[in-house]
Amino acid sequence: MDVSAAIKGRRSVRSYKDQAVENDKIEKVLEAGRLSPSANNRQEWKFIVVKNAETKKKLARAAMNQSFIGRAPVVLVACATESKAVMTCGHPTYAIDLSIAFAYMLLQAYELGLGTCWIGAFREDEVKSVLGVPTNARVVALSPLGYPATDTVARSRKSLDEIACLEMYR
């Protein structure tokens, strides 16, 4: 599968088969995060793979009771090991680094036939306490990971005209 096919085909999946995800596939997904770029190549990240049923349920509760998270065979949690660095442009480095890495991982998962769903609605303190994440670290995103149980429909997108312009901001 080429990159554009993955970008076009990926959808958020919120229903998963009761089927384990092979460890070599999980490793490939993690490898996509490991290889992704980061500011100054700092790689200040830690990706937690959660398979324990109780822990997954606790994560689903911390994610505003989005129960489908707890029903996936795996939940991935993307953490920044450091959150103080700010780029010259004023944006916090960790949020951008982790978002790039997690996006790569979700696309890699899609290529492997696995479904994911970026989860941004969660109580960070609760996720930290469930997983023993240190106070100086940040939890940026979660995603269930598993084989999709149902087909998903493509969500609409704005047209290129609406989101791109030539030379100047219009």
Ligand X SMILES: Cc1cc2nc3c(=O)[nH]c(=O)nc-3n(C[C@H](O)[C@H](O)[C@H](O)COP(=O)(O)O)c2cc1C
Among positive and negative, which fits the CA dihedral 52, 58, 60, 62?
negative
- Residue 105 near residue 52 (C-beta atoms within 8 A): no
Neighbour count for residue 121 (Cβ, 10 Å): 10
Binding flag, residue 66, ligand X (CB under 6 A): yes
Nearest residue relative to ligand X (C-beta): 120
Nearest distance from residue 164's CB to ligand X, in Å? 19
Nearest distance from residue 66's CB to ligand X, in Å? 6
Q: Which of 121, 125, 129, 134 binds ligand X (CB under 6 A)?
A: 121
Angle between helices 23-35 and 93-111 (to 10 degrees): 140
Q: Which of 48, 51, 118, 148 binds ligand X (CB under 6 A)?
A: 118
Q: Which of 89, 155, 161, 169 binds ligand X (CB under 6 A)?
A: 155
Q: Where are the beta strands (DSSP E) in the chain?
A: 45-50, 74-80, 115-116, 138-146
Interacting residues toward ligand X by CB under 6 A: 11-12, 14, 66, 117-121, 155
